[in-house]
Chain A
Amino acid sequence: MKHDDLIKKLENLKTPEIELLGHKRALKMALLSSRLFKDRTIRDWTKILVPVATAVLLIAAMGLFAVIKPGLQPVHLGGNQISRFASYKQLQDFINTNAQYKAFHWRDEFLAVVGEGAVPTPSSTNDYSITDYSATNIQVAGVDEADIVKTDGEYIYVVSGNRTIIVKAYPPEQARVLSEIELEGTVVGIFVNGDRLVVFEEDTPYYPYDDIRWGPTGEFYMPYMPLIISPKTSIKVYDISDRENPRLQRELSADGQYVSSRMIGDYAYVVINEPVYEQDDELNLPRIYFGGNETEIPATDIYYSDAYDYYYMYTTIMAINTQNDDQEPTYETILLGASSNVYVSLNNIYLTFPVWGSEVEDLPIPESSIHRIHIEGDEIEFVASGEVPGMVLNQFSMDEYGDYFRVATTRPERTSQNDIYILDMDLNIVGSLEGLAPGETIYSARFMGERGYLVTFKQVDPLFVIDLSDPSSPEELGYLKVTGYSDYLHPYDENHLIGIGKETTDAGEFAWYQGVKISLFDVSDVRNPQEISKLEIGDRGTDSPVLWDHKAFLFDKSRSLMVIPVMEAKVDVTKYPEAELVWAYGQPIYQGAYVFDISIDNGLQLRGRITHIDDPSALEQGYYYYYSPYSVQRSLYIDNVLYTISDAKIKMNSLENLDYINEVQLPS
């Protein structure tokens, strides 16, 4: 056959066009029900990968580490030791030897998650006063976490974009805006301590017009210098003894991204990350700005441990006395990976970041590198480094109790498993409970003294009760299997837990998540925990910020009160065939604070709800979805007044009957 004839034959060939409709439908359902689909997984990875992504992006922009330089000997310390670099040269050798080209392998994936809200979690405040108002929901008593809303029982301090607004809040009839502080950067969180307001600002550099050069053919280009898109993080301390005229007292800044902060007593602490990059064979060094001076931290002041990683970051911890302006701030820097989770006890900051292991199914198996920094007043000291298998979900997966650090991790291999590790203060593992709930993933954890609680999930939600009384041998005491899962666990009292998450519909080897579910668990019989009450709100698509931010949660046992913001969605059953209802997303129908009665005797009951959206049809039309200025983000109480806060206003309702009292419009 001739060449042309063959082509003609092939071109005119009648090829099979056959469809297998049964297979098409079965595969579709199988795919859509796959646990690969849990959007949670993506969200959680995003949270961990974003800081990494930022770092890799910056590094990529500079072309750093693109080549592994041969002939250099890695610097090894061994064990869990932490040391300072002997010289700038040693720092440079360490980076060039230990940082791997591998980072680039991951670049594409990282780029995919960049820009999906790399906003660091703002953290918040709590004076342990006993006056009758609520404080930010924090993890460790006495360790305040910065937040976007704070109160001191008379005033409410609200962050909205780049503004911090001071509102006279009590009595509610006199409520009004007193002052606002407008900053150039984004406010990521605030603390209030007596007459001092601490504001954390993250300032992304901009390119002044002067820096734009015009090319010969009319195109413009940026000069080489500001290629590094590294933000600057500032702590600003204001004197608010006159609430109508806040006065900036002190300002302390460092190059890098805000990671987290805490306030213990009068001291505010902040953790900042800055990627290490190289330009013209020179490494950048961290910089601190204070009192009009700019200080470069010399390599010989920088700590490092044996952590091996694909890229490096300078993690700087700064401490500032919020009350005494004469006390110099202090800071220390350690060379680490990208810190993703921060847990702070009264005396220690624990930083963790994932260290990527080998790859399975295109996903690397991470281990978690853990670092302990001792803090006491303005003293900051890097003490120990260690490592545990698996990935740490969030700050609630960590806890310090006595002289031990406890951490719960998930190994996200194809057959995942969950572990609990107990480490001594040198961060050596002294006890472990491995292989919990194979195939499942930790959704929430809470340590309470000698007990630990763990929610893992795949189809149903086992709540595990773990005995931690012997640090060398933690033991599983019992578990409860119910539908749904909890993303957040809050102690009701020592024998009861509140769980907030999603309801699910079991469908074989996976489950569809549905509306928001609230449970009350009785764990007094540790071998046989019970769910004594539960409530479900809305259909699939319903969401609450509490599921990822504990600071949106308000609870007061003595008042039997629990309040959470919820965006409720309903599925229009007429729009979907019955078979698809289970995975159909609802349309938003309501956003606001849901107020519950909660007690052991009467369980959970919805008392009522408060919205800031006046026209509910706007919500149904898809406006005001998640990030509407009218979305209630926080709630608090002062005496018998419930305050709900959105970007647009503060609304006051009676806690007796939820009747409207007053509202204050916030400047925008």
Chain B
Amino acid sequence: MDLSEEKELVRQAQKAPDAFAKLYDQYYPKIFGYVLRRTANLEAAQDITSETFFNALRKLWQFRWRNVSFSSWLYKIATNEINQYFRKAEYKKSLSLEELQEQGFEPISTDDPESELIEAQEQLKQYQDFLEIRVKIVRLPAKYQEVIALRFFEQKQIKEIAEILGKKEGTIKSLLHRAMEQLREAY
């Protein structure tokens, strides 16, 4: 999807579910992956991803193309949600999705969500190196966790990280530098 196509989709998505669906298909794996790599918790990743997309939909009509791409905008919402998750002892679950399921709205899928989750837990355990280093990273202040995750796990350019976090590129560079210093001390 090129930028102009995406722009058009975002414009349409404010009214048409079909257009929003395309954006969702494009970005769900990225956002879910990002949240999972930050939290290493599949349940939390589901809740935070749900909340991120609901917030995006809620705020979509306010979204304007400026200097921030739609992708960065989504990452920004997700980052805020992750920070909330870390701050609170118990993260407020995505009610909207839960409610829907309670009211008999079953996902149209032959997959069994329970067994899928168990399988995913097993998969996650196999990323031993990642989990080890992540334990050290989460002990750092949130501002350092963000930049490390975006830079190394999401492979974002400094410019994109600046967009997502709403900070200057110079700030991102020094944050990264200090984050690495602190992480090194943990070893």
> A509 and B100: CB pair below 8 A?
yes
List 16 extra interface pairs beyond A1-B184, A31-B53, CB under 8 A. A2-B184, A3-B181, A16-B127, A17-B33, A18-B36, A18-B124, A19-B32, A20-B46, A22-B116, A23-B49, A28-B28, A31-B24, A109-B62, A111-B64, A112-B64, A585-B16
Interface-located stretch among B70-78, B80-88, B103-111, B160-168 = B103-111
Known: A16-B124, A108-B64. A22 touches B14 (CB 8 A): no
Q: Mark A4-38, 1 if CB is under 8 A from B, else 0.
A: 00110111011111111111111111111110110
For this complex, 10 residue pairs linking A to B, each with C-beta atoms less than 8 Å apart, are A6-B184, A11-B152, A13-B133, A16-B130, A19-B32, A28-B28, A33-B105, A36-B54, A42-B61, A112-B62
7 closest Cβ pairs, A-B complex: A26-B107, A22-B113, A10-B152, A39-B15, A508-B103, A579-B108, A32-B17
> B103 and A509: CB pair below 8 A?
yes
Interface residue? A350 (CB, 8 A): no
Nearest Cβ on chain B to A204's Cβ, whole angstroms: 24
**Chain B residues whose CB sits within 8 angstroms of the CB of A584 once the complex forms:** 18
Interface residue? A601 (CB, 8 A): no
Instruction: Identify the closest chain B residue to A540 (Cβ).
Output: B17
> A10 and B133: CB pair below 8 A?
yes
Interface residue? A362 (CB, 8 A): yes
> B57 and A31: CB pair below 8 A?
yes
Instruction: Identify the closest chain A residue to B13 (Cβ).
Output: A37
**Chain A residues whose CB sits within 8 angstroms of the CB of B61 once the complex forms:** 42, 45, 109, 112-113
Residue from the list A6, A9, A32, A34 in contact with B21, Cβ < 8 A: A32
Interface residue? B8 (CB, 8 A): no
Q: Which residue among A3, A20, A112 has the maximum number of chain B CB atoms within 10 Å of its CB? A: A20
Interface residue? B142 (CB, 8 A): no
Residue from the list A20, A108, A508, A585 in contact with B117, Cβ < 8 A: A20
Q: Mark B16-48, 1 if CB is under 8 A from A, else 0.
A: 111011001100110011001100101001100
Interface residue? B101 (CB, 8 A): yes
Q: How far is the CA of A28 from the CA of B25 in the complex (A)?
A: 8
**Chain B residues whose CB sits within 8 angstroms of the CB of A24 once the complex forms:** 28-29, 32
> A22 and B111: CB pair below 8 A?
yes
Number of A-B contacts (CB under 8 A): 155
Nearest Cβ on chain A to B95's Cβ, whole angstroms: 11
Q: How far is the CA of A479 from the CA of B96 in the complex (A)?
A: 28
Nearest Cβ on chain B to A149's Cβ, whole angstroms: 28
Interface residue? A130 (CB, 8 A): no
Q: Mark A271-291, 1 if CB is under 8 A from B, else 0.
A: 000000000000000000000
Q: How far is the CA of A26 from the CA of B62 in the complex (A)?
A: 25
Q: Which residue among B17, B108, B123 has the maximum number of chain A CB atoms within 10 Å of its CB? A: B17
> B58 and A20: CB pair below 8 A?
no
Q: How far is the CA of A112 from the CA of B14 in the complex (A)?
A: 11
> A15 and B127: CB pair below 8 A?
yes
Q: Which residue among A10, A42, A111 has the maximum number of chain B CB atoms within 10 Å of its CB? A: A10
Q: Which of A472-511 touch B at CB < 8 Å?
A: 507-509
Known: A25-B109, A508-B105. A585 touches B184 (CB 8 A): no
Q: How far is the CA of A29 from the CA of B117 in the complex (A)?
A: 19
Interface size, chain A (Cβ < 8 Å): 49
Q: How far is the CA of A10 from the CA of B129 in the complex (A)?
A: 10
> B120 and A20: CB pair below 8 A?
yes
Interface residue? A637 (CB, 8 A): no
> B130 and A14: CB pair below 8 A?
yes
Nearest Cβ on chain A to B40's Cβ, whole angstroms: 8
**Chain B residues whose CB sits within 8 angstroms of the CB of A33 once the complex forms:** 100, 105
Nearest Cβ on chain B to A437's Cβ, whole angstroms: 19
Q: Interface on A for B, CB 8 Å cutoff?
A: 1-3, 6-7, 9-11, 13-34, 36-37, 39, 42, 45, 108-109, 111-113, 361-362, 507-509, 579, 583-585
Q: How far is the CA of A16 from the CA of B39 in the complex (A)?
A: 11
Q: Interface on B for A, CB 8 Å cutoff?
A: 14-18, 20-21, 24-25, 28-29, 32-33, 36-37, 40, 42, 45-46, 49-50, 53-54, 57-59, 61-64, 96-97, 99-101, 103-105, 107-109, 111-113, 116-117, 120, 123-124, 127, 129-130, 133, 148, 152-153, 180-181, 183-184, 187
Instruction: Identify the closest chain B residue to A26 (Cβ).
Output: B107
**Chain A residues whose CB sits within 8 angstroms of the CB of B124 once the complex forms:** 16, 18
Residue from the list A18, A112, A362, A507 in contact with B123, Cβ < 8 A: A18
> B116 and A21: CB pair below 8 A?
yes
Q: How far is the CA of A29 from the CA of B104 in the complex (A)?
A: 13
**Chain A residues whose CB sits within 8 angstroms of the CB of B14 once the complex forms:** 42
Known: A6-B187, A112-B63. A15 touches B96 (CB 8 A): no
Nearest Cβ on chain A to B169's Cβ, whole angstroms: 18
Q: How far is the CA of A362 from the CA of B113 in the complex (A)?
A: 33
Instruction: Identify the closest chain A residue to B111 (Cβ).
Output: A22
Nearest Cβ on chain A to B101's Cβ, whole angstroms: 7
Q: How far is the CA of A33 from the CA of B42 in the complex (A)?
A: 24
**Chain A residues whose CB sits within 8 angstroms of the CB of B20 once the complex forms:** 31-32, 37
> A362 and B59: CB pair below 8 A?
yes
Known: A508-B100, A583-B17. A6 touches B180 (CB 8 A): yes
Residue from the list B21, B24, B130 in contact with A15, Cβ < 8 A: B130
Q: How far is the CA of A569 from the CA of B3 in the complex (A)?
A: 30
Known: A27-B50, A42-B14, A112-B62. A18 touches B184 (CB 8 A): no
**Chain A residues whose CB sits within 8 angstroms of the CB of B117 once the complex forms:** 20, 22
Residue from the list A14, A29, A508 in contact with B107, Cβ < 8 A: A29
Nearest Cβ on chain A to B119's Cβ, whole angstroms: 9
**Chain B residues whose CB sits within 8 angstroms of the CB of A30 once the complex forms:** 50, 96-97, 100, 105
Q: How far is the CA of A6 from the CA of B176 in the complex (A)?
A: 12
> A14 and B129: CB pair below 8 A?
yes
Instruction: Identify the closest chain B residue to A576 (Cβ).
Output: B18
**Chain A residues whose CB sits within 8 angstroms of the CB of B116 once the complex forms:** 20-22
**Chain B residues whose CB sits within 8 angstroms of the CB of A11 once the complex forms:** 152
**Chain B residues whose CB sits within 8 angstroms of the CB of A2 once the complex forms:** 184
Instruction: Identify the closest chain A residue to B148 (Cβ).
Output: A10
Q: How far is the CA of A509 from the CA of B148 in the complex (A)?
A: 40
**Chain B residues whose CB sits within 8 angstroms of the CB of A16 once the complex forms:** 33, 36-37, 40, 123-124, 127, 130
Q: Which residue among A18, A109, A508 has the maximum number of chain B CB atoms within 10 Å of its CB? A: A18
> A37 and B28: CB pair below 8 A?
no
Nearest Cβ on chain A to B46's Cβ, whole angstroms: 5
Q: How far is the CA of A507 from the CA of B20 in the complex (A)?
A: 19
**Chain A residues whose CB sits within 8 angstroms of the CB of B129 once the complex forms:** 13-14
